[in-house]
Chains A and B, each alone.
Chain A
Amino acid sequence: MTPSHLLDALFPAGHAVRVDGPVLAGTASGPTGVVAVLGTCGAAEVGVEVALRLAGELLAVLRAHPGRPVVFLVDTRGQRMSRRDELLGLASYLGHLAATVGLARQRGHRLVAVLFGDASSGGVLPLGFMADEIHAVDGANPWVMALPAMARVTKLPLERLEALSRGSAVLAPGLESFLRLGGVDQRWEPPLAPRLAAALQRPSGPDARDLLGHQRGGRPLAAEVARRVAAAPGPVGR
């Protein structure tokens, strides 16, 4: 799905979103007023410049429009892989972007992510996967690494990995897997606008992706492990 098709489908009442290279930013008419729109397109590689621009756009929303909901549109093949980005400290730029999203949540901005293309690794972690709710539309393709590369790194034979990945939400790339793991909440079918409107109007709650992954059978242990660590009894007298 192209960004303009997606924007028309999500915001039939109108939108003013600039597409500037790999970065999308602007505003749109939401169910209860103006929402901010921020994201990437064209399977963007998120390097230091893109990360800084996204963080800058979001900081401007926090400064000028307290409480305004933000919709993240996600199409990224991951962090930009280059010696220059690493030299300049990409970890700090991506961390800064994630922290900005964390601050937006703390200040009461409702955050909804819509995956509409690739959603991979260091590109999806600091923005899309930091939202309160994460949904997917036609074309969404979350993944970590293609199976041939995974075979090289893990030293598992490709045929074996392919056989294992069938039916394995943990190994098989793609939306089906991430739905089962709880990493993506819902797959949205058209019409998209009412879906988004409903998501924007739900109250924010704690991160429940691990519970969802348990219910859907993709992650048997995450929710229970996190709960046990979070609630383990401390030493007597605390």
Chain B
Amino acid sequence: MRPAALDRRSWREATARRRLAALLDPGSFVEWLAPASRVTSPHLATLGLPVAFDDGAVVGEGRLQGQRVLLAAQEGAFMGGAVGEVHGAKLTGLLRRALRERPAGVLLLLDSGGVRLQEANAGLVAVSEVMRALLEARAAGVPVIGLIGGAWGCFGGMGIVAGCCDALAMSEEGRLGVSGPDVLETVKGVEELDSADRALVWRTWGGKHRWLLGDADRLVADDLGAFRAAALELLAAPRPLELETLEASHRALARRLERLGGASDAREAWRSLGVQDLDQVAGMEPEQLVRAEGARRGIR
């Protein structure tokens, strides 16, 4: 267990608002459609469910080491950070604004199970609008960076949104996928995936695995400062939406499928990638793993 004193620095334990405040230069955050605007979900109200004044999405602008950035933070504790009509429209509006204003970048603090089933159809359309707005911002040269380390991970349609970003930073505790463990077990049965097997869940969706495969560009500790540092690095190294970059991504994903397509488990995949000390991966601190892999890949 982590010492309690460190938990105040934990990204996972922090609320969406706390994450934003810790990421940005002090006092620089300006929120749009803040809670006092009371733009809440009409659909949750119809179902007799509690609403939140921000519908679980905090959007606005601020300064990151002086650079102007636009940001959205999903609050996982409210409806699992899931995307309904209002929540999704706030993200879309932010990305459309980025297209017009060309800030230094957009940071998406992702913490979401995907489409909010209580607003199912509207949520699905909303996610597709987020994707289109995100890619239009990228096509105009605005980098979009995803940060994943919340308790809800990043799943469903929001997992695909993450896959549309220039780059991702993840903590070991962060999880990224499309169908999450609970959905897989419910739909395909416990033989396909036992969602109670924490180690298996971690090896399939967790930050270390995603980083080793190349889905995540930075692996960081579960620490507010570590995410801030990673966001700064990634903003400085955008991956523009161009034919050459997408062809390069395509080759990398094709190669991954060739090398790892037959792997039955993460350990087999890591072995194929040449990762050493397979038994040590789970216990290593993120910085240790990054250093060890860096050294190994450098030598090769």
Are A and B close enough to touch in the complex, i.e. CB under 8 Å?
yes
User: Does chain B have a CB within 8 A of A9?
Assistant: no
Q: Are B122 and A170 in contact (CB under 8 A)?
A: yes
User: Does chain B have a CB within 8 A of A59?
Assistant: yes
B142 vs chain A, min Cβ distance (A): 13
Select which of B39, B61, B100, B131 is within 8 A of A130 by beta carbon.
B131
| Chain A residues whose C-beta falls within 8 Å of the C-beta of B187 in the assembled complex | 81, 149
Q: Are A221 and B188 in contact (CB under 8 A)?
A: no
Q: Which one of B41-49, B219-227, B284-292 contacts A?
A: B41-49
| Chain B residues whose C-beta falls within 8 Å of the C-beta of A234 in the assembled complex | 30, 61
From residue 198 to 213 of chain B, which have CB atoms closer than 8 A to chain A?
204-205, 209-210, 213
User: Does chain B have a CB within 8 A of A116?
Assistant: no
From residue 24 to 43 of chain B, which have CB atoms closer than 8 A to chain A?
30, 32-33, 39, 42-43
Q: Are A228 and B33 in contact (CB under 8 A)?
A: yes
The tally of CB-CB contacts under 8 A between chains A and B is 280
Compute how far the CA of A142 lies from the CA of B123 in the bound complex, rounded to whole angstroms. Answer: 13
Q: Which residues of B contact A (CB under 8 A)?
A: 30, 32-33, 39, 42-43, 46-47, 59, 61, 85-86, 88-90, 92-94, 96-97, 100, 115, 117-129, 131-133, 135-136, 138-139, 154, 156-157, 159-165, 176-179, 183-184, 186-188, 192-193, 204-205, 209-210, 213-215, 241-243, 246-247, 249-250, 253-254, 256-257, 260-261, 263-266, 269
Q: Are B241 and A102 in contact (CB under 8 A)?
A: yes
| Chain B residues whose C-beta falls within 8 Å of the C-beta of A89 in the assembled complex | 210, 213-215, 256
| Chain B residues whose C-beta falls within 8 Å of the C-beta of A76 in the assembled complex | none
User: Does chain B have a CB within 8 A of A48?
Assistant: yes
Known A48-B257, A90-B177, A154-B118: A125·B97 in contact at CB below 8 Å: no
Q: Are A178 and B125 in contact (CB under 8 A)?
A: yes
Q: Give 22 pairs: A residue, B residue, CB < 8 Å, sorted on A.
A: A49-B257, A52-B250, A62-B243, A84-B264, A85-B179, A88-B261, A89-B214, A91-B177, A91-B178, A102-B164, A103-B246, A105-B136, A106-B139, A107-B243, A121-B124, A121-B157, A144-B120, A183-B128, A213-B122, A222-B88, A225-B86, A228-B39
Q: Are B119 and A59 in contact (CB under 8 A)?
A: no
Q: Are B39 and A225 in contact (CB under 8 A)?
A: yes
Compute how far the CA of A154 lies from the CA of B79 in the bound complex, rounded to whole angstroms. Answer: 10
Known A82-B188, A86-B204, A93-B163: A164·B47 in contact at CB below 8 Å: yes
Q: Other than the known A99-B135, A142-B124, A144-B121, what 9 A-B pairs have Cβ atoms closer than 8 Å?
A: A63-B243, A89-B256, A94-B178, A95-B162, A100-B246, A102-B135, A181-B122, A213-B125, A225-B89
Q: Are A230 and B121 in contact (CB under 8 A)?
A: no
| Chain A residues whose C-beta falls within 8 Å of the C-beta of B261 in the assembled complex | 48, 88
| Chain A residues whose C-beta falls within 8 Å of the C-beta of B265 in the assembled complex | 87
B105 vs chain A, min Cβ distance (A): 16
User: Does chain B have a CB within 8 A of A11?
Assistant: no
The 0/1 profile, CB within 8 Å of B marked 1, for residues 67-93 of chain A is 000000000000101111111111111
Compute how far the CA of A156 lies from the CA of B48 in the bound complex, rounded to whole angstroms. Answer: 10
Select which of A86, A105, A164 is within 8 A of B46 by beta carbon.
A164
From residue 162 to 220 of chain A, which have CB atoms closer than 8 A to chain B?
164, 168-173, 177-178, 181-183, 207, 209-210, 213, 218-220
Cβ-closest chain B residue relative to A156? B47
User: Does chain B have a CB within 8 A of A1?
Assistant: no
